[in-house]
Structure 1
Amino acid sequence: MLIAITPAWARIVRIDITGRQSPTFDGRVFGRVGAYEKLRGRAYGEIDPNHPQNALITDITLAPRNTKGLVEYAMDIYILKPIALGNGNHKLFLEVNNRGGKLFGGLNNSKGGNDPTTAADAGEGFLMNRGYTLVWNGWDISAAPGNNNLTITVPVAANPDGSPITGPSYEYIVFDNPGAQTYTLAYPAATLDKAGATLTVRDRLTDTPVTVPPGGWEYVNERAIRLLPAGTPFRQSAIYEFTYTAKDPLVAGLGLAATRDFVSFMRYATADDFGNPNPLAGDVRYTFSYTLSQPGRYLNDFQTLGFNADEQGRRVIDGMENWLGGSSGVAVNYRFAQPSRTERNRQNHLYPEAVFPFAYPVLTDPLTGKTAGRLARCQAGNTCPKVFEINSANEYWVKAASLLHTDLWGNDLPDPENVRFFLIAGAQHGTGNATSRGICRQLQNPTNAEPVLRALFVALDEWVTKGIEPPASRVPRRSDGTAVMAVAQPGSPTGMVPPAALGWPDIPGVTYTGTITTRYQLDFGPQFDKGILTNYPPSLAGRPVYPNFVSKVDRDGNEIAGIRLPPVAAPVATTTGWALRREGFGENDGCESAGQYIPFKKTKAERLSVSSSGLIDPRLSLEERYKTHQGYMKAVRQTAQTLARQRLLLDEDVQKYIQEAEASDVLK
């Protein structure tokens, strides 16, 4: 007798396709691949909390279970696929969403937004022309519903007797506007008694926090606070910190299992438990992921915690392109997790985001004695992906990204055989607007990394599918003299980079403080390894520091290490990955994700004119550099063509740089 037994491993048990648009993109045809269709729906999963892999999820044993003893979750899913799957390239492209939002525009050079629908939304169709199937899934408990965001529903953990779990929670509060009057808490307060809560305020990071008296604030309800008297706004750009006892933590780490199980289902399953077909059944031969910022940190944790293997031991993602993830995690697998937070040198520096291990190789932390590495679990099961870790200069200045490729003393590590590291020299966190300074002192940095991201993705695909060796890593190294070490300032979340060591030029009208994030080994309490924060927020006082560094700069202030795109190698300005806040917004504190765009003078005479500060600009003018517009075009062309030979630009993007240089007003 044959008895059908439902497997006990974690999986997607039901997939509901609730919407289909076929064709999408107004019927646009993408070469031989043809038209695409859009599928939207909801996926439902179950996991065994006793399985060793799932046991790593914080509070999983305290989550409610169904009649089979399994823990359930549900998430939004979104699929863009060739209508004729056979015409595609049989490769799945997982774009890990950022706080629920899609990043569709990046590699496609479009503004497709959160629900790409029209022919214009497809942009240049970089991925569709190559035949990839694009998928998204909800994973982030902090993602807000609406606006086509991708959400996930996970259970609330409770004590074995059913009573609410309570514990310390922490809110870092900054409003860069003058009118905010209410702040929403990440978790409900366990009590509205203010005796167990503290609110502090300071104007700048280096100021001593001042406690707001109990009569100066109140709970609006269990999920919000406000200042008193009612109608009092929070001070613009002041730093408020609120500690309180929260209740009802979500089992946020289930998001890791959700992504694992979704990609595994798309890759390996034929149908769900109810007979609903897998829309990609039998098609997927290779899987890739792409991230920008927060989801890059998510995939760092995804790898470290072993979720790139499904419960049958099969590899989930073959190749990962992580853009702007730094060396940090996403703080998703903790009690009272707040994965929407991100640490920079003025924000969120007391959350459990940046904790050992930082690098891929297995290392022993001299500060804690722990041994770990991002590769440890995947090497044991032969499920490691090939990875490109790509970061802007901003991640080195504000997120200690150098720890990705150094040991815990700051010495260079050899590249793991499956990982390459790249710095996009002089870039900020994303692409800034060179006509706006926002809350910063200088114009924002417009250096656009998308052309090199496209070329590197092609190289990653060839590495995974054909075994073609990728471009070599391009990052600052102590061994070649391109790295300059940060100097820690004990007790402060920021340190500094000495201007002389960096090589920073004294530019008229530009303030340089050398502000850089100091990476501390923080004490979150004795249950931290279980994901429970009892010492929260931790203190910086007396805590040891991990060394970190940035790239040295040339005489223009532009970085010498990394991939120097035409705006850096054939520059018209100094572009930096760091910036400072302007007056009224916490002046001279770090300006978080922003960089700077500081244009050169046009002529030698303009450069040599004495500024109001009594300085002349030490950087050569455009006239002195290029002599003519044709000279500038030649410099851009040579730089772009060199990068193409190194497989760091595609030919079509080389032509765009040349066309943009020709259309520019440089020396016209």
Structure 2
Amino acid sequence: MSPVRLEIHSREPFAGGHRFTGTGAYEVITATAHYAVDPDAPAHRSVVDLGLAPRDSTGLVRFSGDVEILRPVDGGRRRLFFDWGNRGNKRAVQYFCDASHTNRPRTLADAGNGYLMRRGYTVVFGAWQGDLLPGDGRLLLDLPVATRGGQPVRGLTTAEFIVQEPTASLPLSRWANTRSSPVSEAGERTARLTRRRYPYSPPEEVPRTAWRFARVQGGGRDVQGQALAVVPSRGDLYVEGGLRPGWIHELTYEAEAPLVLGLGLVAVRDLVGHLRHDPSEPAGPVEYAYGWGRSQTGRAIRDFVHHGFNEDLDGRRVFDGLLPHVSGAGRLDTGRFANLTVPGGQQYEDHLNPADTFPFAYAESVDHLTGARDAVMKRASDPKVLHTQTSTEYWQRRGSLTHTTTDGRDLGFPPNVRGYLWSSSPHVADPVPAPPTKGVCNHLSNVVATSALFRAVLDALDAWVSEGVEPPPSAVPTVADGTLVTMAEWSRRFPAVPSALRPHGPSELPFVDRTRVPPVPDPTRRYTVLVPAVDADGNETAGVRAPMVAAPLGTHTGWNTRARGQGHGALHEFSGSTLPFAATEDERLITGDPRPSVRERYGDSAGYVAAIRAAAEDLVAGRLLLDEDVERAVRAAADWSAPRHHVDLA
């Protein structure tokens, strides 16, 4: 008996019945998946608190989640492509098809360039994150709460708050879209709030008279809502005068009623396994199943594999191939009172996130601090994996640890994994071009376009799985060839770019005592984190160089530094930088810029376009770009890649 029952709510034509080249028409199916899980099965041993979830009369734990399927009416190529929706949002069509983001893809415009449809994929969007709240069309998973003796489970937890402007109240989850772990009645009296300037600055106690568990209500423009009120709430933090911008506030409190969040990984296993093996379901028949996730969901993929969920209850492989993108070396935290929306730890934000724990690498390695031996990939059921990450992951997400030992030696990847650094590119690269901004940072955002690389990677994965064609060799920096270096060596090589505020260092990873709440880092015991080396322009030398990096108009970095008043000088979240070249030799000389000017490099816009074309064709030769994307890159380079860049040679 299948552990999943799919309840279909609607079917409707996609894109007005448009027939995509090579595939034909698509339809959209919306459904609810109903899950039934045996909490005593050995396969579920890693699911925290599953034994404390309510059971039905047969001893099973039941829950349900949203599902949406975008399928070719005539069957397509029998390939299922699962989008691990980032925080409940549908992202695969956006990134693989260069489309605008929408959680309700219905029109031809929503299909972008139609890549996934032209390739005949059945795209499945399935809810896996159980602590999301309704809104904006997010996919929701309805999970049980852990109880003991009929009472909600309680325990200490922490929440971190960083704001960019004075903010009076926030949910305890910090995110408006995410359920908070509510404070218990006793916790209201014993909770503690501190703040500190930088991650390792001494914490300052915030007097209890200055804050409480409450939320601000009102402040609207109509007569009834103009007045403000502070309303008691076990799910919100209120600070008199507001939380101070840029400071790190940390709340420690006794929470209650945790969700059994690990069931989200079980849901993916059971849904995809059910769809690919039951030909009566709308995705079937399925010959191969692939999955993709970026950032949070890239970490989810790594955790999914590490805990053995790529094997279903009948011993069959679930995914044949997986594409974790920009996960860095992290996995998930699905423990008691976890917050799945919170990003992986960075230098400044969420720097002690428990998602960053050994093992980091796909290949087996030894934790040199504890002696533990483990690997992300270690089972016969493991899929083929193409791991992609950007410069940002090396700076903020300990990306080097995916292919080095914990003490900084080259380790590489196992035979069923390839790794690729998308050189000098940012964590988030919206396929829809827009002018760069600074936000609360010192530099313009990184404008490198990389979405075309997704299409080449998926084609390579499909050929590897279905035809046995080896993908391009891994392209990551290494210690052996001098392209993976310490922060001191990186700093020595990085050019003296005018007005650039360099980072002091990448996001270090200390060993953390997680038996204490809040966790306590040990500054004397650290994992080695290395960064990619750069050329004379400051662009990274190793990895896959997108056309805008191979033919640059500036220095592109995976880091950006916080402006004054916002944690000045520290790395900011997952932001990258663009440091434009001088347009002309005169400008270069007056500013003291050591990097050759745009005119010196390309002469005119035609020279730049020619350089972009050559770079794109080189990538095609290495099977790292599709033929169809050469002309897209050339068209985007017109007018100096506006609006991403502005070059004035007048």
TM-score, normalised to structure 1, is 0.89
Letter in 2 for 1:98: N
Report 1:101-500 matches (<5 A). 101-103=89-91, 104-159=93-148, 161-185=149-173, 186-191=180-185, 194-220=188-214, 221-228=233-240, 232-270=241-279, 277-281=280-284, 283-332=285-334, 334-342=335-343, 343-376=345-378, 378=379, 382-431=380-429, 434-486=435-487, 497=488, 499-500=490-491
Report the Cα offset of residue 331 of structure 1: 0.8
What is the DSSP-based 3-state SS (H/G/I as helix, E as strand, rest coil) of the residue aligned with 1:468?
coil
Distance in 2, Cα, partners of 1:628 & 1:72 = 64
Letter in 1 for 2:3: R
Report the Cα offset of residue 42 of structure 1: 0.6
1:652 paired with 2:650, answer: no
Query: Which residue pairs with 1:494 in the alignment?
Result: none
Report the Cα offset of residue 548 of structure 1: 1.4
Q: Decide whether the 8 Å contact of 1:64 with 1:71 is kept in 2.
A: yes
Report the Cα offset of residue 437 of structure 1: 0.7
Query: Which residue pairs with 1:19 in the alignment?
Result: 10
Report the Cα offset of residue 499 of structure 1: 4.8
**Which has the larger displacement, 553-562 or 190-199?**
190-199
Letter in 1 for 2:355: E
Q: Decide whether the 8 Å contact of 1:27 with 1:119 is kept in 2.
A: no
Distance in 1, Cα, partners of 2:574 & 2:601 = 30
Distance in 1, Cα, partners of 2:407 & 2:522 = 21
Q: Decide whether the 8 Å contact of 2:605 with 2:639 is kept in 1.
A: no
Letter in 1 for 2:620: A
Report the Cα offset of residue 74 of structure 1: 0.6
The one of 540, 546, 565 equivalent to 1:584 is 565
Report 1:628-643 matches (<5 A). 628-643=604-619
Letter in 2 for 1:226: Y
Distance in 2, Cα, partners of 1:657 & 1:40 = 35
Distance in 2, Cα, partners of 1:366 & 1:635 = 46
**Which has the larger displacement, 296-305 or 189-198?**
189-198
Report the Cα offset of residue 193 of structure 1: 5.2
Report the Cα offset of residue 498 of structure 1: 5.1
Report the Cα offset of residue 659 of structure 1: 2.2
The one of 51, 59, 84 equivalent to 2:41 is 51
Distance in 1, Cα, partners of 2:376 & 2:301 = 10
Q: Decide whether the 8 Å contact of 2:34 with 2:62 is kept in 1.
A: yes
Distance in 2, Cα, partners of 1:349 & 1:586 = 14
Distance in 2, Cα, partners of 1:553 & 1:391 = 17
Distance in 1, Cα, partners of 2:366 & 2:500 = 41
The one of 95, 98, 104 equivalent to 2:83 is 95
What is the DSSP-based 3-state SS (H/G/I as helix, E as strand, rest coil) of the residue aligned with 1:637?
helix
Query: Which residue pairs with 2:554 in the alignment?
Result: 573
Distance in 2, Cα, partners of 1:624 & 1:32 = 45
Report the Cα offset of residue 407 of structure 1: 1.5
Distance in 1, Cα, partners of 2:314 & 2:246 = 50
Query: Which residue pairs with 1:489 in the alignment?
Result: none
Query: Which residue pairs with 1:3 in the alignment?
Result: none
Distance in 2, Cα, partners of 1:299 & 1:224 = 31
What is the DSSP-based 3-state SS (H/G/I as helix, E as strand, rest coil) of the residue aligned with 1:456?
helix
**Which has the larger displacement, 396-405 or 204-213?**
204-213
The one of 497, 503, 508 equivalent to 2:498 is 508
Q: Decide whether the 8 Å contact of 2:195 with 2:206 is kept in 1.
A: yes
Distance in 2, Cα, partners of 1:49 & 1:353 = 24
Distance in 1, Cα, partners of 2:209 & 2:40 = 48
Q: Decide whether the 8 Å contact of 1:430 with 1:448 is kept in 2.
A: no
Q: Decide whether the 8 Å contact of 1:92 with 1:135 is kept in 2.
A: yes
Q: Decide whether the 8 Å contact of 1:637 with 1:657 is kept in 2.
A: yes
Report the Cα offset of residue 500 of structure 1: 4.0
Distance in 1, Cα, partners of 2:303 & 2:517 = 21
Distance in 1, Cα, partners of 2:366 & 2:491 = 33
The one of 588, 593, 602 equivalent to 1:617 is 593
What is the DSSP-based 3-state SS (H/G/I as helix, E as strand, rest coil) of the residue aligned with 1:38?
strand
Q: Decide whether the 8 Å contact of 1:498 with 1:514 is kept in 2.
A: no
The one of 21, 25, 28 equivalent to 1:35 is 25
Distance in 2, Cα, partners of 1:546 & 1:178 = 35
Distance in 2, Cα, partners of 1:298 & 1:479 = 30
Distance in 1, Cα, partners of 2:188 & 2:182 = 14
**Which has the larger displacement, 189-198 or 591-600?**
189-198
Cα deviations by residue, 1:310-363 (Å, 9 ceiling, x for unpaired): 01110000111111111101212x111111111111111122110001111222
Report the Cα offset of residue 542 of structure 1: 4.0
Distance in 2, Cα, partners of 1:362 & 1:476 = 19
What is the DSSP-based 3-state SS (H/G/I as helix, E as strand, rest coil) of the residue aligned with 1:540?
strand
Distance in 1, Cα, partners of 2:213 & 2:637 = 56
Letter in 1 for 2:195: V
Distance in 2, Cα, partners of 1:417 & 1:436 = 41
Cα deviations by residue, 1:249-302 (Å, 9 ceiling, x for unpaired): 1110000100000000001125xxxxxx52234x10000111111100001100
Q: Decide whether the 8 Å contact of 1:310 with 1:316 is kept in 2.
A: yes
Report the Cα offset of residue 192 of structure 1: 5.3
Unaligned runs of 5+ in 2: 174-179, 215-232, 641-645
Cα deviations by residue, 1:133-171 (Å, 9 ceiling, x for unpaired): 000111112222122211111111112x22321111110
Query: Which residue pairs with 1:531 in the alignment?
Result: none
Unaligned runs of 5+ in 1: 1-6, 271-276, 487-496, 526-534
**Which has the larger displacement, 592-601 or 627-636?**
627-636
Letter in 2 for 1:199: L
Distance in 1, Cα, partners of 2:16 & 2:165 = 40
Distance in 2, Cα, partners of 1:584 & 1:325 = 29
> How many residues end up aligned between the 2 structures?
615
Letter in 2 for 1:606: E
What is the DSSP-based 3-state SS (H/G/I as helix, E as strand, rest coil) of the residue aligned with 1:146?
coil
Letter in 2 for 1:598: L
* Identity across matched positions, percent: 36
Report the Cα offset of residue 206 of structure 1: 4.8
Letter in 2 for 1:602: A
Query: Which residue pairs with 1:561 in the alignment?
Result: 542
TM-score, normalised to structure 2, is 0.92
Distance in 1, Cα, partners of 2:435 & 2:567 = 21
Q: Decide whether the 8 Å contact of 2:302 with 2:331 is kept in 1.
A: yes
> Cα distance 1:260–1:249, how it changes in 2: closer, same or farther (>3 A)?
same
Distance in 2, Cα, partners of 1:543 & 1:252 = 33
Q: Decide whether the 8 Å contact of 2:69 with 2:283 is kept in 1.
A: no
